[in-house]
Chain A
Amino acid sequence: MKTLYERLQPAIHAEVASTLFPSATVHQRDARQDAIDLVQDVFVALLARDAAVLRSWDPERGAKLETFVRMVAHRYVLGVLRTRSRNPYELEPIDFEQLDRIAASEAAIESRVDARTLLHQLDGELDERGRGLFRQLFAEGRPTAEVASSAGMTHNAVYAWSARLGRKLRAMLDVQRDSFQANEPKDSRDA
């Protein structure tokens, strides 16, 4: 247990804290206590029922164990933030395809990318409705059907909005990358 804990705790803690951070800033709760509770919950979720969730990780799929547990942690914390209810024994099924997508996206975002600025710029591009959609879909992880219903939109309209957002996000990433390249010394580019 100690070995497993020592390996996974930092990743789970980082994910829990990262997912909690926006809402913790807003709600001014004792964030440390929340984080510790949730880290424990995530471990319980992983280890419950003879570690069924943890054992569902398949190294052959490509995602590292830490990436996998971070996804579990992210989903769990989002669920708690949405429902205000903690129950690590009722974890939503792991979407392994989505896990692969996230791992690929993370790998594609270089460390030099200034994600804070990018999100700030994106926020500036969105109108009030767009911010609401972004918050519900991406920050709160709400199901598309629920978001579509609350926004009075069709499924496809939400998908279309999401697609445009994705194009915008990728374009912003490209601008940052171009900027990095332009600022790199010529020697390092040649190398």
Chain B
Amino acid sequence: MSEATHDSDPSELEREHRDVLALAEAVSRAATRDWQDVALGRAELDEVAAQRAEAGDDPEALARAKQLFRPFDDLEDARMIDALLGAVAQPTAQPDTPADPAQPSREHAERRFLIAVTLVAIAAVLVFTLVAIGSSLRGSGDPLEPIAALPSYTVDPGEGLATKRSTPADERLRYTAANTYDWIVRPGLDVAGPLPRVFAVARDAASHDHPLALRFETAATGTMRARPAASASSGSRSASGPSCSRWSAASVSTSRSRRSSSSSRWPPRTDRPWPSASGIGPTSS
């Protein structure tokens, strides 16, 4: 079709244009109706994927659709609700809409006060740095792996995070007393071979470092889930951190090792993103 001048009433042309826009949007949406039914919980992912494969869809597009439309799992739902509660409770976090300091609403002020009290009293603040150590553990018998062989890793703060998900510029993770850390350490690429070991250190207000006892579950893709070691996973807040009111600047270090036989596999329940890899990634220490 080629364009041509038109003598119709401009308002009539615009109305028709808007009708066509609506029709095109509806048709475009209908083109993925089967996949949307997966997200809507009306159809099974595998069944639709099999149908589309049979229909001759491109394998890459098929894989992408499975990623996109797969329903949220329980963990993703829980994190989203947690993040939304945080976002709703923190109106000052709205970008480009600074609150008018001259006329703060009472409700907002009260919310901020509560958040501040929560954070000062019981927050655990962590700053993560992934440190790739380019050597294998002594005595492990594993071959040395060059540092370049480690993909970049991101740390997903996981559920239990008390605040809205981090902005790209904010690497701090804040926890309340009710939280315990549950991190997902995810490689930028699937790691099929040797997996790094991960060590974490928390730093208290007096700059004393405290090793964190971690336990891991490892997915087939190399993604690791790190939680407090079993002996420290219950009880008070100090179970998930050092026994001090505030701690920060933990580092998460990775070093090469074979996949540990003691690592249990877990289904990769989420691809929850860490909003920014800023400051996180393999660096020399």
Contact = CB atoms under 8 A, between A and B. Distances in A.
A24 B271 contact: no
Contacts of B33: 111, 115
B39 A17 contact: yes
* Range for the number of chain A residues in contact with chain B: 35 or more
B36 A25 contact: no
Contact of B61 (A25, A30, A115, A129): A25
Given A32-B67, A105-B25, A37 B30 contact: no
A102 B1 contact: no
A12 to B, nearest CB: 9
B67 to A, nearest CB: 4
Contacts of A159: 6, 10, 13-14, 16-17
A64 interface: no
Given A10-B41, A30-B271, A169-B24, A163 B76 contact: no
A161 B26 CA distance: 19
Given A30-B271, A35-B68, A49-B91, 19 more contacts: A1-B84, A10-B39, A28-B64, A36-B271, A97-B18, A101-B18, A101-B21, A106-B26, A115-B27, A115-B28, A118-B27, A119-B28, A119-B31, A138-B21, A138-B24, A139-B28, A159-B17, A160-B3, A163-B16
Interface of A: 1-2, 5, 9-11, 13-15, 17-18, 20-21, 24-25, 28, 30-33, 35-37, 39-40, 43-44, 47-49, 74, 87, 89-90, 97-98, 101-102, 104-106, 108-109, 111, 113, 115-116, 118-119, 125-127, 129-130, 134, 137-139, 144, 153-166, 168-170, 173
Interface of B: 1-6, 8, 10, 13-14, 16-33, 35-36, 39-41, 58, 60-61, 64-65, 67-72, 76-77, 80-81, 83-85, 87-88, 91, 94-97, 165, 271-273, 275
